[in-house]
């Protein structure tokens, strides 16, 4: 049986939506409140999103922080941290073009830096992000916020703020789709690999 052109992957029995757009929005709202509570307000907060999907999530978190505290200027506290050249597993992944690293105007020295990513899996991306940060400055604290923690860590890294814990098997793939980076609606899908 062949699939029709333009048919949605939602009809694939090996794929299931585990977070809808509304679920993602609620998770980010909760993470924003947790960040303000843990930091006792917005002072010195910097959100560094890891490309590709961590950066739009960081931008969304910045806007949610501003909704809770009007003193927050989202563009002034949000940046992008490319970790491509700091990865220890480049030989195992397809070639990817580095994205620009963009720090907020105030930098990261003595700031509370929150790394933002879509999925925490082995921990290798976050290890690379920590190495990248060392080259850029000396934050007071580094925290980690992820939309999804799927387990299977290879390094002793854990998230401080998690949108959703999704226990998965290693044969499953967690795919995050965001309006900013993917065509279509926001959702998180688990797919069974053949």
**Average pLDDT rounded to a whole number, residues 126-138:** 96
**Average pLDDT rounded to a whole number, residues 129-147:** 97
The token duo for 74 is: 């989202």
Residue 171 counted as domain residue = no
Has residue 9 got a pLDDT over 80?
A: no
Has residue 161 got a pLDDT over 90?
A: yes
- 167-187 pLDDT, tens digit each: 999 999 999 999 999 988 999
Residue 191 counted as domain residue = no
Give, as one character, the DSSP assignment of residue 102.
B
Residue 119 counted as domain residue = yes
pTM of whole model > 0.85? yes
- 72-128 pLDDT, tens digit each: 999 999 999 999 989 877 666 666 678 899 999 999 999 999 999 999 999 999 999
The neighbour count for residue 4, using CB atoms within 10 Å, is 7
Residue 42 counted as domain residue = yes
Residue 193 counted as domain residue = no
Sign of CA pseudo-dihedral 87, 164, 184, 46: negative
Residue 33 counted as domain residue = yes
Nearest CA to 41 out of 77, 76, 65 is that of 65
Residue 60 counted as domain residue = yes
Cα distance between residue 15 and residue 142, in whole Å: 34
With beta carbons less than 8 A apart as the criterion, state whether 104 and 76 touch. yes
The CATH number linked to 138 is 3.40.50.2020
User: What pLDDT sits at residue 93?
Assistant: 65
User: What pLDDT sits at residue 193?
Assistant: 81
- 14-31 pLDDT, tens digit each: 899 999 999 999 999 999
**Average pLDDT rounded to a whole number, residues 37-61:** 97
Residue 13 counted as domain residue = no
**Domain, as residue range, for 80:** 23-88+98-166
Q: How many domains does the chain have?
A: 1
């Amino acid at each position: 049986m062949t699939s029709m052109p333009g048919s949605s992957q939602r009809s694939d029995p090996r794929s299931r939506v585990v977070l809808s757009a509304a679920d993602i929005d609620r998770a980010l709202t909760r993470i924003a409140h947790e960040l303000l509570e843990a930091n006792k307000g917005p002072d010195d907060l910097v959100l560094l999103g890891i490309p590709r999907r961590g950066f739009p999530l960081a931008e969304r978190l910045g806007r949610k922080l501003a909704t809770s505290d009007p003193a927050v200027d989202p563009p002034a506290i949000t940046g992008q941290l490319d970790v491509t050249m700091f990865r220890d597993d480049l030989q195992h992944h397809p070639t990817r073009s580095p994205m620009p690293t963009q720090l907020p105007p105030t930098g990261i020295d003595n700031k509370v830096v929150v790394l933002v990513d879509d999925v925490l899996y082995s921990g290798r991306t976050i290890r690379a992000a920590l190495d990248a940060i060392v080259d850029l400055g000396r934050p007071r604290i580094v925290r980690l916020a992820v939309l999804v923690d799927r387990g299977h860590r290879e390094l002793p890294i854990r998230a401080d703020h998690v949108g959703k814990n999704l226990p998965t098997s290693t044969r499953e793939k967690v795919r995050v789709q965001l309006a900013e980076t993917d065509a279509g609606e926001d959702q998180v899908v688990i797919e069974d690999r053949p």
